[in-house]
Structure formats: structure tokens, C-alpha cells
Amino acid sequence: MENYSSLVTKQRSFFRSGKTKDISFRMGALQKLRIAIQNHEDDLLKALKMDLNKSEFEAYTTEIGILLSEISFTLSNLKSWIKPEKVKTPMTHIGTTGYVYSEPYGVSLIISPWNYPFQLAIAPLIGAIAAGNCAIIKPSELTPKTSEVLAKLIKETFEEEYISAILGGVETSTALLNENLDYIFFTGSVSVGQIVMEAAAKHLTPVTLELGGKSPTIVHEDAKLKLAAKRIAWGKFINAGQTCVAPDYVYVHQSIKTEFLQELKMAIHELYGDIPLQNEDYTRIVSEKHYNRLQSFLNNGSIYTGGKTKSEGLIIEPTVLTDITWKDPVMQDEIFGPILPILEYKELSEAIEGIHHHPKPLALYLFSESASIQQKVLNSVSFGGGCINDTVYHLSSPYLPFGGVGPSGSGAYHGKASFDTFSHKKSILKQTTLFDIPFRYPNVKDGLKKIKMFLK
């Protein structure tokens, strides 16, 4: 197995030089990153087309534009984020002031998946740079063209003692995880998340896990069905369903099921045309293994719309399955493909109960006009984050920290949350030397009595 200790040592000694902590160095690095992304835009678009058949529209919005706007947001706010935060002082601490310093961890490792292969490697990097860390990126081996452009871009832009990208698969990832790192940021599957957490435990390295799971969508009887159907179709079939926060399945109220399904079918036609298999802009499935796994779900329940596949090119039509129960294979794990099973409910409590029987999801979407229904769902179900009357859109607001809970992940990022994730919050109390309150000392007469007046 390869050994990356010399790279980690090099980065750690660069980190200790203090350069990465300098605000102008961080801003300069973010500006360089922005220019590098802009200069490689064509290469990235081509690579994403080859790896996943991503259209220029999808590739630009979800992989390039989103990063450029994250960099701009970070550059506009970084000066205020890095200031030590002054906090309140309690009566018992008169004479002191309290500060929380944001301190970079040091050498961070970013491991990323294949579904948004550029965005999910670079978005955490923006946080790592902003917070003043060095970084090693291990992009996905399943999207080799994009990962190659990414590695080239990083190599041309940064010294490897500061930021480096290492290409490779599981072995490379395992070797990197064996190193003593200062922070690990992992995006990927639940099972590999467990491996990463175990590796982190060896050195007690703090870790962020951005994982996946089955994200439910509830369509209540009072929802605006046409809009709901369009927003669900968009969130589900963008990137051919290979999105961590894609609606995994829909729970629809029995009374509006037929109408909702009709609207959903129309929305799919509107977005992907009459013959999606011939739509040149429709994303393909990443690998034959995933294509075969997804194809095996097509005989679950009944196909309401879609269901056609093209093995040459690894394409699966946007597909809606009805007559589905929790026992069907399609309901066992995260689908991560363009297949949308529909479950129905009569009482909202049945849907909530169904969700409760499964691990806490990364996202949840609810379509309902009623504030009390919205509140009921938000109060009863734990999930990473989500939307009311939309899908997926929450992840692109820099003001909303993005992440899972428990089995769908821990920690969050985007916007300031990225800066916070890559910063240790160091609490400092500055004490006065002008006077010394005596009660805490054991030799003071009636000290305990006075302490009891304060500490209650």
C-alpha cells in the first residue's frame, strides 16, 4: 500500500509556518481557485459529459456555477468570520472578557464521491482554505476524466505542501486514512462513512460525514399538485436521480394520488421530452454495476410511467413505480437512480410512522399549504434538512448549513458553516490583573457562603 506520510509531514510543516492563517493568503488562494475553475470550465464540462453525460446546463449549474458563487460569498464574508467572537461575561467572572477564536485544524483530508465529482470535492476545499487549513483531496475513481481535470487544476494552482489532489480508489483512500490527520471531511455512502469514522477514531481525528439514505417526500391532500409534481420531478431526475438529497420515494395522500400521478407524468414529459432515452442531455448511470442494480428494481410493483432502459450508454428513463410496499427491494436502501416509488397514506400519522421505522434521512420534503401540517411534520421527524413545498433547493443557499443527522451524516457545511466546520472553536478567557476576587480561594472566610449566593 502507498504511504502518504511524507506528504502529510510536508503539509504539516507548511501549516506550522503560519502562512495559511494569514487572511490575505486565504483570500488569495480563493481567488486563485476561482480563476483556475474559470480557466478549466471547458475541460470540466467535457469531462463531466464523458463521465456522466451531464448536459452543459446541469454541469454548469450544479458543478461550476454553484462553486463560483460559494467562493464569492466566502470572499465577501471571510474578514468578519475570522474575527474572534466576543462573548458575554457572567457575574461570577467580573473582570474577565471571553472570546471564541476560530483556529484552523491543520492538515485536512477531503474524500469525495462520483455523483457531483467536482463540486463535492471543491465545496469543502473552499471551507478548508477559508478556515486556514492545508488540504489533501481524494476525488472519486468512478469519474476518472473529471478527477483528472481536478487533479491537474489543483497541481497547476497550488503547491502540494498546501493543497494536493491524490487520484486513486479504495486503496489510496485507505492509505490516506491511515495517516495522522487533523481533520477528515468525507462525502459518500453510509457503509464507507462507518469505515472513515473508525479510521478517524484511531487518531481521534475530528470528522464531518456527509452521507446519504432514503429521503422521503410527502405530498399532502392540500398540496398544489401541479407545482409539487414539477418540483419533485426536477429534484428526483436531475443527474438521473444520482443526488444524495434526491427525493427517494413519495408518500402521497390517497385522495389525490391519481391526480398527482397524472401531473407527475406530465412534468416528466415536460422536462425530458417524449423519449428520454433519446434526450442527449439526460445524465447516464455512472457504472454498469449501478445500472444493473437499478434495473433490478424495475419489476417491483407496477410501472406507472417510464421503465425503459438502454444498456449501451447506461441510461434508465425517469420511472415511477406504484403498488409499492416497504417490503419491496427498491425500498430497502437508498435508490440513487431515476426510479421513484410511490407509497400512499390515509392519515399523515401513517407516513410519519413509516419514516420513523427507518434511519434518520438526509432530507425530507413536504408539500402542503397548511402551517399546522408543516409544523406537525417538522416536529415529529428528525432529518438532516429539507424543504417545504420544494425539493433539493435548500442545499444551494449559503445561509443554510447542509448536512445529515446520525446515519445520514454528522456536521454540516456551505457558507459560514463550511468555515466553522474547518475551524476549531478555541475559547479564551482574558482575566484582569487589576483586582482579584477572593471567594474562589479555599482560605477565604465565608467563601463558600458567598459562592453559594452566585452558583445557584
- CA-CA distances (angstroms) from residue 426 to 85, 130, 429? 10, 17, 10
Q: Which stretch binds ligand NAD (CB under 6 A): 61-69, 207-215, 295-303, 430-438?
A: 207-215
**Which cell goes with 36?**
483556475
Q: Which of 183, 260, 291, 336 binds ligand NAD (CB under 6 A)?
A: 336
Residues with catalytic function:
210, 244
Residue 334 or 344: which CB sits closer to ligand NAD? Answer: 334
The yes or no reply on residue 112 touching ligand NAD (CB under 6 A) is yes
Q: Which stretch binds ligand NAD (CB under 6 A): 205-213, 233-241, 369-377, 447-455?
A: 205-213
The yes or no reply on residue 418 touching ligand NAD (CB under 6 A) is no
Which residues are bridge partners to 104 per DSSP? Answer: 423
Q: Which residue's Cβ has the minimum distance to ligand NAD? A: 212
The whole-angstrom separation of Cα 60 and Cα 48 is 10
DSSP alpha helices (H): ranges in 158-295? 170-178, 190-203, 225-237, 257-272, 288-295
Residue 132 or 241: which CB sits closer to ligand NAD? Answer: 241
Scanning residues 257 to 296, which ones bind ligand NAD (CB under 6 A)?
Answer: none
Contact 319, 340 (CB under 8 A): yes
140 phi, psi to nearest 5 deg = -75, 145
Contact 78, 26 (CB under 8 A): yes
Q: Which of 104, 106, 212, 241 binds ligand NAD (CB under 6 A)?
A: 212
Scanning residues 136 to 195, which ones bind ligand NAD (CB under 6 A)?
Answer: 138, 140-141, 169-170, 173-174, 187-189, 192, 195
Longest C-alpha distance within the chain, in Å?
88
Residue 132 or 235: which CB sits closer to ligand NAD? Answer: 235
**Type and span of the H or E element at 149:** helix 144-157
The yes or no reply on residue 410 touching ligand NAD (CB under 6 A) is no
**Which cell goes with 251?**
408518500
Nearest residue to 414 (alpha-carbon basis) of 147, 23, 120, 182: 120
Contacting positions for ligand NAD (CB under 6 A)? 111-115, 120, 138, 140-141, 169-170, 173-174, 187-189, 192, 195, 210-212, 244, 334, 336, 362, 404, 409
